[in-house]
Structure 1
């Protein structure tokens, strides 16, 4: 049986550790990205965002604020201020975003970051700017260096 504190440390450990990915891996385009690499980068990105957004939800004074993550879908509910949804789209090797401010966007993993091809904006920068406008305080959701935790991460 896993007690609460052991479970929490496992969750945190799951999205960080060991050796960094090489530039060769992070410099690939969506079409070149192997499926396992896509899942690795997407899972690590969503996991890191989950950890950071949990802290933001706790720091906010917004009633009904909540964050959920399951089956590749990260949902950040900010009560009357709206709901942000990020989810993995495996067939397209993309992360899709739905924002109450800017609407939908599809991000490709390019040169080590998630980028919207239509205008070149970065997922983390756009999300941070929108959250700051809604929450009215500064947020730090910049990604940690992508870390590997073995060959099989799925």
Structure 2
């Protein structure tokens, strides 16, 4: 081996010893970089919206239920003869007098007087009431210390299309508000005229 060839071989071996690890290629460096984290846009899982109230038909909004028709109670002032008026008025006043006299016997301070078709009754907590027949008008008149004077007509309630014939009932009714004379006694004096006079004050259970 010539001296020149030996010198080249020595230099090559020397370079190999100085650089024992080869450099990584740019391909390896590129693949060794960590991949960037994927970015996901937040997704709405639920969607809320205002409730839409619509009817069955597309052109109706918020339909209201149809009200059930209520049967109208038929009332009318009875056309009474003089005899019928006196019979009805006398029978009613007799019931009222009997009831009030029983209360007079049971309560102190209650005073009842009935003469010539005029009933005067005094309750300590309320005052004096005057009830009397008014034949020219076929009415019963009442004067209350609480609600003032009232005129009551005999009114027939019933005999509508859905009721049996002959089942109508009558009552003495104040035309301005439709209340009955029985209602006034119950509201102002706590006297229930629907209870038979002989059982008034007893346990109705």
Query: Residues of 2 paired with 1:99 and 1:50: CA distance?
Result: 16
Q: Deviations over 1:93-114 (max 9, x none)?
A: 0000011111100000001100
1:52 is matched with: 99
Number of residue equivalences: 109
SS of the residue aligned with 2:152?
Answer: strand
State the TM-score, normalized to the length of structure 1.
Answer: 0.65
SS of the residue aligned with 1:107?
Answer: strand
Query: Residues of 2 paired with 1:92 and 1:107: CA distance?
Result: 10
1:127 is matched with: 185
Structure 1 residue 129: deviation in Å? 1.1
Structure with the higher fraction of residues in helix conformation: 1
Query: Residues of 2 paired with 1:108 and 1:54: CA distance?
Result: 25
Task: Point out the structure with max Rg over C-alpha.
Answer: 2
State the TM-score, normalized to the length of structure 2.
Answer: 0.49
User: 115, 128, 133: which one pairs with 1:83?
Assistant: 128
Structure 1 residue 54: deviation in Å? 0.6
Moved over 6 A (4+): none
Query: Residues of 1 paired with 2:144 and 2:77: CA distance?
Result: 25
Query: Residues of 1 paired with 2:145 and 2:194: CA distance?
Result: 20
Whether 2:38 is the aligned partner of 1:38: answer no
User: 172, 176, 190: which one pairs with 1:114?
Assistant: 172
Query: Residues of 1 paired with 2:84 and 2:126: CA distance?
Result: 34
Consecutive unaligned residues in structure 1, runs of 5 or more: 1-26, 133-138, 145-154
SS of the residue aligned with 1:33?
Answer: coil
Query: Residues of 1 paired with 2:135 and 2:84: CA distance?
Result: 11
